[in-house]
């Protein structure tokens, strides 16, 4: 059984697989505590629901299999704090691909088909996880964020997405920083966006949880 904050059917809004139908399983819990977390309900005391459901792996797989999703995205919170191997094995047995979104700061259990690693400076990725990533996602919350994170990542052909922190998505300085970096360095850097948010795609599924309000307030944890 896994503690599940929410599960819903939507489309992947970020990275290489953006725009594809995807079933999301968001586990509960995260020790990283990013100050702009848009999943603050998975850990912040002001937003944690009164009850966290623990759901059998088979139930999660059955819910995903009832949709036309091309894959399941296991996210959080920080999903890697849990043993995800039984879930991944069950998904594969049902013929469903399993993707992971993680900070990389904890050991990854389970053989995922795709791993998106988004490093966070509050708890940096384990060295062992960097080679496992199929793509990287840097959240650009300051003009020097890209420089801080790129020193951690290997300079190979795997995509490195540069996503503006969502509350700063209209900040010209942040957007220009991303644009200038992509133009200056080219591959593997790509300008990123969260397509699902302007679509409000996740919210169309009534099983999705209400998001905590964004504001980038470190004292409040979002």
What share of the chain has pLDDT > 70, as a percent? Answer: 95
Name which residue leads in pLDDT, 216 or 17: 17
Q: Residue 107: is it exposed, middle or buried by C-beta count within 10 angstroms (0-12/13-18/19+)?
A: exposed
**What's the rounded mean pLDDT across residues 5-16?**
97
Q: 102 φ, ψ to 5°?
A: -145, 155
- Tell me what the mean pLDDT of segment 133-149 comes to: 95
Q: What is the pLDDT of residues 30-47, one digit of tens each?
A: 999 988 888 888 988 888
Quick one: tokens of 125?
């990725």
Nearest partner of 16 among 103, 112, 116, judged by Cα: 116
- Cα 67 vs. chain centroid, distance in angstroms? 21
Scored b (16 or more CB within 10 A) or e, 168-203 reads beeeeebbebbeebbeeeeebbbebbeebbeeebbe
pLDDT score of 219 more than 90: no
State the pLDDT at residue 221: 54
- Mean predicted lDDT score pLDDT of the chain: 93
Residues 32 and 167: their CA atoms lie apart, in Å, by 19
Question: Per-residue pLDDT for 26 more than 70?
Answer: yes
Q: Compute the average pLDDT of residues 109-128.
A: 96
How sure is the predictor about 189, in pLDDT bands with cuts at 50, 70 and 90? very high
Q: How confident is the model at residue 137 (pLDDT cuts 50, 70, 90)?
A: very high
CA dihedral 35, 187, 75, 10 (to 10 degrees): 110
Q: Is the pLDDT of residue 216 over 90?
A: no
Structure confidence at residue 53 (pLDDT): 93
Give 90-105 as a DSSP string. Answer: HHHHTT-EEEEEE-S-
Domain 2-204 part of CATH 3.90.1150.10: no
Least confident interval from 10-14, 98-102, 153-157, 164-168: 153-157
> Rounded mean pLDDT of 112-140?
96
User: What's this model's pTM, rounded to 2 decimal places?
Assistant: 0.94
Q: Considering only 21-25, 90-94, 166-170, 187-191, which range has the smallest mean pLDDT?
A: 166-170
Q: In what order do the strands lie in the sheet with 97-102?
A: 53-55, 2-11, 21-27, 71-75, 97-102, 114-117, 135-140, 160-164, 189-191
pLDDT digits (tens, 9 = 90+) for 67-112: 999 999 999 999 999 999 999 999 999 999 999 999 999 999 999 9
Q: Cis peptide before 65, with omega less than 30 degrees from 0?
A: no
pLDDT of residue 158: 95
**What pLDDT shows up at residue 104?**
98
């Amino acid at each position: 059984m896994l503690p599940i904050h929410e599960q819903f059917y939507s489309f992947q809004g970020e990275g290489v697989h953006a725009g594809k139908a995807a079933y999301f399983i968001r586990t509960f819990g995260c020790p990283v505590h990013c100050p702009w977390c848009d999943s603050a309900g998975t850990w912040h005391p002001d937003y944690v629901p009164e009850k966290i459901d623990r759901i059998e792996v088979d139930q999660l797989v059955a819910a995903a299999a009832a949709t036309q999703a091309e894959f399941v995205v296991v996210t959080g919170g920080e999903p890697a704090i849990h043993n995800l191997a039984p879930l991944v094995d069950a998904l594969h047995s049902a013929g469903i691909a399993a993707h992971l979104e993680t900070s990389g700061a904890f050991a990854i259990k389970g053989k995922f088909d795709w791993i998106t690693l988004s490093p966070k400076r509050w708890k940096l990725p384990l060295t062992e996880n960097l080679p496992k990533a199929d793509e990287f996602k840097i959240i650009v919350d300051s003009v020097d964020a890209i420089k801080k994170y790129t020193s951690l990542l290997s300079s190979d052909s795997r995509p490195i997405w540069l996503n503006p922190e969502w509350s700063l998505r209209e900040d010209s300085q942040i957007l220009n920083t991303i644009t200038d970096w992509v133009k200056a360095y080219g591959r593997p850097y790509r300008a990123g966006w969260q397509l699902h948010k302007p679509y409000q795609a996740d919210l169309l599924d009534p099983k999705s949880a209400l998001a905590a309000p964004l504001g980038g307030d470190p004292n409040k944890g979002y």
